Structure 1
Amino acid sequence: MARPIGITPTLTGKDAKRILKRMNEPPTEKDKTFSKKLKELSEKRTVPFKTGYENKNTEK
């Protein structure tokens, strides 16, 4: 059984300023490389889903 979702923390002070500053900066080369690798991995892990329903309709 899943556990209930906890309360999302509210950031204030230095933490909030640091996160907002980072969000407003353009992505670095390291960020772009990571994003590209992540996209490539996600494409490799995609599994096509077939129900078999398509074959039944084409045989008629």
Structure 2
Amino acid sequence: METAQENRLNPFLYLTYLLEKLPQLPDPQDEKALNALLPWSPSLPLICRVFTPTK
């Protein structure tokens, strides 16, 4: 969860996303598919991200 926060993700929404996606993976050992779910992956949906207003 710390890594999720460091990557500007909402930990609850990120964990929810993971728990929805992981069981649906055709091959749970597919490195490419797993890399797309890591907290620093640019392919994570915007709903998982935390946006801070700019000044």
Q: Given the two structures, how large is their TM-score scaled by the length of structure 2?
A: 0.30
Relative to the length of structure 1, the TM-score reads: 0.28
Normalized per residue, the structure richer in helix is 1
Q: Which has the higher contact order (CA 8 A, sep 6+)?
A: 2
